[in-house]
Amino acid sequence: MADRPDPLTFNPTRFAMRIEQTQLVRHVIGWLFFGGWLALVVFDDKLGTWPVNLVFLAGLGWVVAMFHSARSARLVQQAASLVASNAPGDVAESALRAAGDRFTVHRAVRVLYYHHLAILRHRQRRFAESAAIAAALLAHPDIRLSATQRHHLLLMLTESLLQFNDLNGAHACLMQLHAEPLPLSERVQRLGMQLIYESRCGLDRHALSSLDGKLDMLDLMAPTAAAVCHQHLGWSAQRTGHADLAAWLHERARLLAPDLNAAAPVAVTAPFDRAVRPLEDPTPALDLDED
Amino acid sequence: MTLTPPPFQPPSAEQVRVHLRACEPRPSININTVMMFVSLGALLIIWETVEPGWVSLSVTWMVIAGYLAWRAYATSQARSIQAGVVNVYELTLLRRSREALLGAWDLLPRLYRQPAEHAQVVSIMTNCLMRLRAYDPAVETCEYLLAHVPPQHPAGYLIRLQRLLGHLHLDRLADADDEIRSLRNASLGPYEAAVLTTAHLYQQIKTNHHDDAADLADEAIDRLHPLGIEAGYGYGLIATAFHFRGDADAAGRWWRRATMLIPGHAIAYDLPETVAMLGAPEGVHPPFARPSCPPPPRPPRRCDHG
């Protein structure tokens, strides 16, 4: 017997197939129901009992599919909660594996599953996989993402591309992020990404412009992410001949994250400011109406 | 004659208690489900009682349109509440505490059907009240949250830590001491442990145990850095401890570190015990920290290096 593929191993073909599968099942059931009902209305009793059977069959199929999907949705929600609450990697992985194997007619459930798989991979520093999932979700023509999901995926994709030094790709993502109104937390993350991008491109004067305002925004970040941005600003200051400013920025970076390793990848998209939202449920609500 | 509005006053503990009690979430029926069943019932009655024809058809469509209009209204209401929560949250992040507190105060009565958002807004109120130095009402909100948060909820420790800081500010040192002892035995995350270290330092300064506070200096950076810039408060307290011990060099060094993260006047406003350090040199931005560069590019310029 051939081994079943691990649902946590991202495969673009399988991803597209699974997204289309939800649509296909919904369409088949819908057309069966509509066809039977139309036959009943148009032909009345002339076609015997098969239109009634068709409507009954479609209704039964719908109930079974919904029942199965409800359980899948619950499992995906549980897995998403584990991922969002920073549960240990293996616990979150096994929950996602259990949820990913199941069938669902709701595309929103599938999208939530892949979104949280991308978050998990990003947190595990498996940037290639997280970028692939984020790009696939963003590019799929039939997927309607919520604004929050879209922003989050774009931020993760930008960060992954910066890790691979794909500056053109990162630029395209930043352009998209600039084209949309973002909430404060995402504006802060975008600023962090843009500073890294500008520093890598050598756009040092741009990076250092309006520095006070940028430092105020960086103060809202998680300490390690803020320290990374300070380091990049410090390098920009060094290159533009502001040695004192560079020393100040590097010292601030060291105070924010004493054990920061400049070579190690750091997620700028880390959650921040826990003090004011200790009771927030980190799991995004599952909106099945989106289907 | 022009009327000038009275100066802003944070609410008293009693006002907070009354407001929280009045706005407490209560179990309620799901109006969406009720409306769906009412619409379905209305449709069944129409189909049973009215002869098929244009009347029944129009009434059927009117019921369906009414239900859809209700759904649209309910969704817009939910979105407006969500936008309100996000707004007060962002104001809090930006330290616009008065506006955030006013927004949270007005928003709370609308959240009686959303316990999670309600708790989040109360925790935002706690934060704002602490920043406005209204510690009595802040402790009141902490007590309220602790009474409503499940015992094993991870936020419980953070609320207890906020209450502990409130107790220290209010000079309720015995309560604070009990809380510190109890929290020392808890398994705290790095962030919570850093808040506890700050509270411990503050307790030692308050009780004139400056030597004990200064002894924590060796491991202060490692312990406090998870707080981000707010570690500056802890460094400011260590500087004050060295100052009262008569070690001006160490005091100056720690004050410089503290003020690299938070301006000195802000530390002294939040922790009046550190006011003695205000004359010392600060680690503020160098004067050329505001280079006269063109405005930041939006969108960023295309880069062809990749």
- Interchain pair A169, B300: CB under 8 A: no
Please check whether residues A201 and A101 belong to one and the same domain: no
State the nearest Cα–Cα gap between A13 and chain B, in angstroms: 28
| Residue A14, CA atoms < 13 Å, CB-side half-sphere | 13
Please check whether residues A106 and A204 belong to one and the same domain: no
User: For residue range A4-60, what is the model confidence (pLDDT) as tens digits?
Assistant: 667 777 888 888 888 888 888 888 888 888 887 787 777 766 767 777 777 788 888
Q: Strand, coil or helix: what is A77?
A: helix
Q: How far is it, in rounded angstroms, from Cα A204 to Cα A71?
A: 52
Please check whether residues A229 and A188 belong to one and the same domain: yes
Q: How far is it, in rounded angstroms, from Cα B10 to Cα A237?
A: 43
Residue of B32, B117, B259, B290 to mutate when probing chain A, most A C-beta within 10 A: B290
Domain of residue A72, residue span: 7-145
CB atoms under 10 Å from CB of B139, counted, come to: 25
- Interchain pair B153, A183: CB under 8 A: no
Question: Mean pLDDT across chain A, nearest whole number?
Answer: 82
Please check whether residues A113 and A14 belong to one and the same domain: yes
Residue of A210, A276, A283, A290 to mutate when probing chain B, most B C-beta within 10 A: A276
* Sign of the CA dihedral with B187 first, then A91, A151, and A167 last: positive
Name the band, by pLDDT with cuts 50, 70 and 90, for residue A174. very high
**Partner residue facing B116 (CB), from A166, A208, A281:** A281
Residue A16: what pLDDT? 85
Q: How far is it, in rounded angstroms, from Cα A2 to Cα A75?
A: 26
CB atoms under 10 Å from CB of A222, counted, come to: 25
User: For residue range A93-109, what is the model confidence (pLDDT) as tens digits?
Assistant: 888 888 877 788 888 88
Assess if residue A235 is contained within a domain: yes
Higher pLDDT, A74 or A102: A74
| Low-confidence winner among A135-149, A210-224, B276-290 (lowest mean pLDDT) | B276-290
- Interchain pair B286, A183: CB under 8 A: no
Residue of B225, B227, B253 to mutate when probing chain A, most A C-beta within 10 A: B225
Please check whether residues A12 and A121 belong to one and the same domain: yes
Assess if residue A151 is contained within a domain: no
Assess if residue A161 is contained within a domain: no
Residue B150: what pLDDT? 78
State the nearest Cα–Cα gap between B1 and chain A, in angstroms: 40
- Interchain pair A208, B303: CB under 8 A: no
Please check whether residues A27 and A141 belong to one and the same domain: yes
Q: Do residues B240 and B277 lie in contact, with contact meaning Cβ atoms separated by under 8 Å? A: yes
Please check whether residues A128 and A25 belong to one and the same domain: yes
Please check whether residues A118 and A211 belong to one and the same domain: no
Q: Does the N-terminal peptide bond of residue B297 adopt cis geometry, omega within 30 degrees of 0?
A: no
Please check whether residues A176 and A111 belong to one and the same domain: no
Boundary (domain end) residue, out of A145, A175, A196: A145
Please check whether residues A68 and A133 belong to one and the same domain: yes
Return the ∠ at Cα B271 (arms to B268 and B274), rounded to 5°.
Answer: 60
pLDDT at A178 over 90: yes
Domain count, chain A: 2
Please check whether residues A64 and A11 belong to one and the same domain: yes
Q: Strand, coil or helix: what is B282?
A: coil
Domain ranges of chain B: 11-127, 149-284
Q: CB burial class (10 A; 0-12, 13-18, 19+) of residue A1?
A: exposed
Boundary (domain end) residue, out of A95, A114, A145: A145
**Of B112, B118, B65, B66, nearest to B88 (Cα)?**
B118
Interface confidence: ipTM more than 0.85: no
- Chains A & B: contacts with CB separation below 8 Å: 146
Assess if residue A252 is contained within a domain: yes
Assess if residue A239 is contained within a domain: yes
- Provide the token pair at B224: 């406090």
Contact residues, chain B, for A240 at CB < 8 Å: 291
**Of B130, B122, B182, nearest to B157 (Cα)?**
B182
* Sign of the CA dihedral with B107 first, then B109, B111, and B117 last: positive
Nearest CA in chain A to B288: A245
Residue A173: what pLDDT? 94
Assess if residue A1 is contained within a domain: no
Q: What is the pLDDT along chain B (306 residues), one digit of tens a residue?
A: 566 766 678 899 999 999 999 998 887 777 778 888 888 888 888 878 877 777 777 787 888 888 889 888 988 988 899 899 999 999 999 989 999 999 999 999 999 888 888 999 999 999 999 999 999 999 999 999 999 887 777 788 999 999 999 999 999 999 999 999 999 888 888 899 999 999 999 999 999 999 999 988 888 888 899 998 999 999 999 999 999 998 999 999 999 999 999 988 899 999 999 998 887 777 776 544 444 443 444 444 444 443
User: For residue range A249-265, what is the model confidence (pLDDT) as tens digits?
Assistant: 999 999 998 887 654 55
Q: Strand, coil or helix: what is B280?
A: coil
- Provide the token pair at B45: 């009655």
**Of A275, A269, A253, A87, nearest to A187 (Cα)?**
A269
Contact residues, chain B, for A175 at CB < 8 Å: 299-300
